[in-house]
């Protein structure tokens, strides 16, 4: 019998605890992956500190985690794309409301993964690099390609140029790094923002122009950069991104659509051990002011906006577009980089809690990885 171990969250807001977990065999359209590397996302510490507010469907004890890379150990009876022993990366979607399953969390040795949310990885790609991609990639893909989001042309290893320019506000984030690369692969020019020390980084990913989001003139500078161009819309990532994108897209010619990745409440400042509802309540006036101002500005300016949900692609064609049709070829051809760079903080599930705390305190163009 296969033995499994997981970094469990036993109850809401608890620290993770490494303990035995059941091994769950795959259903017809699933695979089981033995994880060799897992990555940490803001979602993980947000769920740890405010899971009952954000993803109220989660029942504890639970296993969090979205990003993994490892070897396939078992495949469901309808799976033809993978075999045991194959090296893969995958987006584990256990915390999505349609799945809501601890067996599908990444923070364990063996994770059950939906077949269409996994991609083979090239032999030369370390597991620690491959694991940086999944949630950032999925979220960027939902924003760019879902029909009720930016609905861009699909990515390809031989992109067909569109002559349209996408604004990615927050290009050095994980989501932004993937969005830049996906948009370029879909034939769009990309204008982005980052801190100056990450300018070369986002250019390497394919951005044509980059601006410092902390500069006082950033909005006018970007509006000037769009002069003579047709916009494909914007992806707003990071605090203050939505407000800035509303001003920029208003001044540009083209698609008046903004896809919003960042929730307008700061979870970073919320303390795990004090009254969560009170802390949330304190942010309520800011949240209400944000929603009213955003609704007014977008309506008056004829701009459509929509919040993105990074695992919604499990139920639409975007998962196939990305994980089946594009990524395996693009990784093999060296046309999609595993970005941001992995920062391995240790080996073993007991390092996951430190990874969550480190991610919460902030990273810059890097992804915290735990090797297994």
The residue ranges that bind ligand NAP (CB under 6 A) are 41-43, 135-136, 139, 170, 172-175, 193-195, 198, 213, 237-241, 261-262, 308-310, 363-365
Shortest Å distance, C-beta 47 to ligand NAP: 11
Q: Which is nearer to ligand NAP, 110 or 199 (CB)?
A: 199
Q: Which is nearer to ligand NAP, 187 or 264 (CB)?
A: 264
Strand partners, 127: none
Residue 44 near residue 66 (C-beta atoms within 8 A) = yes
CB atoms within 10 A of CB 7: 27
Q: Which is nearer to ligand NAP, 156 or 195 (CB)?
A: 195
21 or 183: whose CB is closer to ligand NAP?
183
Give the max Cα distance, the chain. Answer: 64
Minimum distance from residue 198 beta carbon to ligand NAP (Å): 4
Rg (CA), the chain: 20
Smallest separation, CB 282 to ligand NAP (Å): 19
CB of 290 to ligand NAP, least distance (A): 14
**CB of 236 within 8 A of CB of 245?**
yes
- Cα separation, 336 vs 320, in Å, equals 17
Q: Is the dihedral of CA 13, 15, 20, 22 positive or negative?
A: positive
Angle 78-153-43 (CA atoms, 0-180°, nearest 5)? Answer: 65
Q: Select the residue whose beta carbon is closest to ligand NAP and give its number.
A: 238
Token pair of 366 as six digits: 């890097």
Q: Residue 168 Cβ, how far from ligand NAP at the closest point, in Å?
A: 10
Is the separation of the CB atoms in 321 and 150 below 8 Å?
no
Cβ distance to ligand NAP smaller for residue 111 or 198: 198
């Amino acid at each position: 019998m296969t033995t499994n171990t997981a970094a469990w969250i036993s109850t809401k807001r608890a620290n993770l605890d490494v303990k035995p977990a059941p091994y769950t065999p795959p259903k017809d359209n699933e695979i089981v992956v033995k994880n060799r590397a897992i990555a940490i996302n803001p979602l993980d510490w947000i769920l740890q500190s405010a899971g009952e507010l954000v993803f109220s469907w989660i029942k504890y004890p639970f296993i969090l985690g979205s990003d993994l890379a490892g070897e396939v150990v078992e495949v469901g009876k309808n799976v033809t794309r993978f075999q045991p022993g194959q090296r893969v990366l995958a987006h584990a979607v256990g915390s999505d409301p349609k799945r809501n399953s601890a067996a599908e969390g990444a923070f364990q040795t063996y994770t059950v993964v939906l077949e269409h949310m996994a991609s083979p990885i090239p032999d030369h790609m370390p597991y620690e690099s491959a694991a940086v991609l999944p949630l950032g990639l999925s979220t960027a893909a939902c924003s760019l390609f879902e029909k009720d989001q930016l609905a861009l042309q699909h990515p390809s290893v031989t992109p067909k140029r569109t002559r349209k320019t996408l604004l990615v506000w927050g290009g050095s984030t994980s989501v932004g790094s993937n969005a830049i690369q996906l948009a370029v692969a879909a034939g769009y020019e990309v204008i982005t923002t980052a801190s100056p020390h990450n300018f070369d980084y986002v250019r390497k990913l394919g951005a044509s122009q980059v601006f410092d989001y902390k500069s006082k003139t950033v909005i006018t500078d970007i509006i000037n950069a769009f002069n003579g161009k047709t916009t494909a819309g914007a992806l707003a990532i990071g605090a203050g991104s939505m407000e800035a994108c509303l001003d920029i897209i208003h001044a540009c010619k083209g698609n008046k659509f903004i896809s919003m990745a960042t929730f307008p409440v700061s979870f970073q400042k919320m303390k795990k051990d004090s009254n969560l509802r009170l802390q949330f309540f304190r942010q309520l006036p800011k949240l209400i002011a944000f929603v009213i101002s955003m609704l007014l500005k977008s309506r008056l300016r004829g701009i459509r906006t929509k919040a993105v949900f990074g695992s919604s692609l499990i139920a639409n064609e975007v998962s196939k577009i990305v994980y089946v049709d594009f990524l395996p070829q693009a990784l093999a051809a060296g046309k999609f980089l595993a970005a941001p760079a992995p920062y391995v903080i240790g080996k073993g599930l007991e390092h996951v809690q430190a990874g969550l705390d480190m991610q919460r305190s902030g990273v810059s163009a890097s992804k915290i990885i735990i090797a297994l």
